[in-house]
Amino acid sequence: MLKLYECRDMKGKVLFVSGIDTSVGKTVATGLLAKALMVAGKRVITQKMIQTGCVEVSEDIEAHRQIQGIDFTEEDKAGLTCPYIFTYPCSPHMAAAKDGREIDLSVITQATERLSERYEYVLLEGAGGLMVPTVGMGLTIDYVKEQGYPMILVTSGKLGSLNHTLLSVYACQQYGIPVQAIVYNRYPSIDPLIEANSLEYLRERYPEIPIILLPEYKEGSDALPDIAPLL
């Protein structure tokens, strides 16, 4: 079982959730992990670092709450769980420019700190993958390293994902970011042979990194991922 890292002076435990690519299932994974932590009796909240392609309300935070089976929290209503929402669906640096706004990363950090004072776990979901530009030449992975957050990396078994997963883990290793767990999303299933082989390969290549199998999310389902590596 891996040890969680406390971030700087934060009281709660912040885990950064990133995907190997867009549309890999990190929003569903974040919601299911949060629900599993809730069921385990933990005080947990999710946060979205930056949301693009939305107006006023973060669709990812909305999805998290739907999966958790709870209403919007006071922190959601106060904007703490998603400090930046941009209208155009693209990378944060471009979305901010199109909306004529600027991103101040300290605003996100301060929001996370406030959440960590109220909750045992903060699952901070990124936008896209690790190398997504945020401010200037800065990347998401730069921010994660600066804050000292451990990583939950969401991947899948679809063709091409293995390459992206290896690159993402390598990037974390080069940046000195601990990978707390790899979440393996098997849905929707496209090629069972590739999915099984990729899972076996990851287990053999990274025996030190726990792999959490993500169950298929269906409304009303009680299936939850095994969160033992996060406890």
Catalytic center residues: 48
Return the number of other C-beta atoms located less than 10 Å from residue 100's C-beta.
6
- Angle formed by the axes of helices 26-39 and 59-68, to 10°? 40
Residues ≥6 apart with Cβ < 8 Å to 118: 12, 43, 45, 75
H-assigned helices in 20-84: 26-39, 59-68, 74-77
Contacts for 114 with CB less than 8 Å, ≥ 6 apart: 75, 80
Are the C-beta atoms of 214 and 28 separated by less than 8 Å? yes
Instruction: Give CA 150 to chain center in angstroms.
Output: 11
* Alpha-carbon gap, residue 67 to 11, rounded angstroms: 26
| Alpha-carbon 41 to chain mean position | 21
Please count the helices (runs of H) and the strands (runs of E) in the chain.
8, 8
HSE-up (13 A, CA, CB side) for residue 36: 21
